[in-house]
Amino acid sequence: MHTRQSVYINGNWVSARGKGEIEVFNPTTEKKIGSVPVGNMDDVNDAVAAARGAFASWSQSSIEERQGYLNAISNALYERTDEIAELITSEVGTPINYSKMAMVGTPRVVSKSYAKLLDSFEWEEEVRNSLIVKEPIGVVAMITPWNFPLHQIIGKVAPALAAGCTMILKPSKEAPLNAFILADIMEEIGIPAGVFNLVSGHGREIGELLSSHPEVDMVSFTGSTDAGVSVSQAAAPTIKRVTLELGGKSANVILDDADIEKAAKMSVYACFNNSGQECSSLSRLIIPSSKRDQVIQTISNTMEKYSVGDPMNESIRCGPMVSARQQESVTNYINSGIREGATLVAGGDGMPDGLENGYFVKPTVFADVTSDMTIFREEIFGPVLSITTYETEQEAIDLANDSEYGLSGGVWSANEERAIRVARKIRTGQVSVNGGAFNISAPFGGYKLSGNGRELGIHGLEEFLEIKAIQR
């Protein structure tokens, strides 16, 4: 049992002053695996004061010192890969192999990448009679989600450390335990007191307190679009910087000259990674009407081999939803697809065969989905793929852009130039061409209701910097 009774403030583990505890459940077994304390306003004020107090010295720390801590975090994550991956799998339900790679491996590489980036980052430049200086923005509040818990934390913590900022982290209440291991690591590597603070609690209380706090200079939030609106509203009176990485309903466009077999098969994985609980999931597959039957046959064959079950089993592709509430939500979307007349290709309502416990749903594929259907328009956040046909390339682009979101996307074509031309016309923050791999040094973020700002790489670092012009 992973029982935590203290929060981490000013370099010390201290008792939280809120009442009760937040219980953490394994979505596969439905059993309690741990708990974290409930912080309150006093804890937030203490954490902000600690971060404010540490900022003067940390903001003046040397590049070499910051690099040392970033590399130390990366090394510690590497040494504890199996432990942390197994913990996140027990919190979220992520299949263990993907957990090791994406939930621990990616944050490890991201942390190291910021240490390396500092080797060449230009902090100053001259423009005519001005010296342009980049400085850390100050105290940053970080509010993170459950689906990629440690990755989303490191995607904020690493650039903030690199920039010279101090911070308060409020992790997701569904998957907070990994954040406490990170706090353990921070203590072990000797990060200066007050630079990193951790306060667990309920989002509506802690998140709002942090977002509205007058001594917080910036809020970096990842989560739902509705919650992002609330964060922005709370932050508005103090005119603090707000970066948001929100929802998605991303389109994967297969052009008529693509390798149909490969594109169709890969579309399953592009939608169902992390059991579909991924904001950048390519959940809308847009295909030529002339290739409909071939695509559906390929996907049907792929789904027959797509395993669902205990995510600790290395052969399993799809684990449970994170909670009973999420299971119910995804099930409702599946039923809406059936009710609104989409063609069920695979999956459907109910528990997967052979499973009686856990928050599972059947990985589901719908064909003949039209743009007015709920499953085309709304983010499902589960393993549900919607297939829509088009007649012309322009119609494919229009369908891809027919969304209030704009986080990710995909284009498949035998002609890379053509694919890139189409990719340029899709209004999203990222587009993968022919399955192009995720790049931790490229900016990640969205257009439209998918958010403001970017994470990762140099663009992610610059979010945590203010710009000053000194005229002379």
Instruction: Mark residue 363 as left, alpha or beta (left: phi above 0; alpha: psi -120 to 50; beta: remaining).
Output: beta
Question: Is residue 284 within 8 Å of residue 375, measured between CB atoms?
Answer: no
Query: How far is 187 from 13, CA to CA, in rounded Å?
Result: 9
- Which ranges of 385-433 does DSSP label H, i.e. alpha helix? 393-401, 416-425
Question: Is residue 345 within 8 Å of residue 367, measured between CB atoms?
Answer: yes
Quote the tokens at residue 183: 């706090």
Q: Are strands 124-127 and 2-3 parallel, antiparallel or unpaired?
A: unpaired
Quote the tokens at residue 41: 């306003």
Q: Which H helix or E strand runs over 63?
A: helix 63-79
Quote the tokens at residue 417: 């130039």
Bridge-partner residues for 3, per DSSP?
35
Q: Which H helix or E strand runs over 329?
A: helix 324-339
Query: How far is 152 from 150, CA to CA, in rounded Å?
Result: 5
DSSP 167-208: EEEE--SSS-HHHHHHHHHHHHHTPPTTTEEE----IIIIIH
Q: Which residues are catalytic?
A: 245, 279
Query: How far is 47 from 56, CA to CA, in rounded Å?
Result: 15
Q: Does the CA dihedral 328-332-333-334 come out positive or negative? A: positive
Q: Which H helix or E strand runs over 253?
A: strand 251-254
The torsion angle over the Cα atoms of residues 433, 435, 440 and 445, rounded to 10 degrees, is: 60
The torsion angle over the Cα atoms of residues 253, 255, 260 and 264, rounded to 10 degrees, is: 10
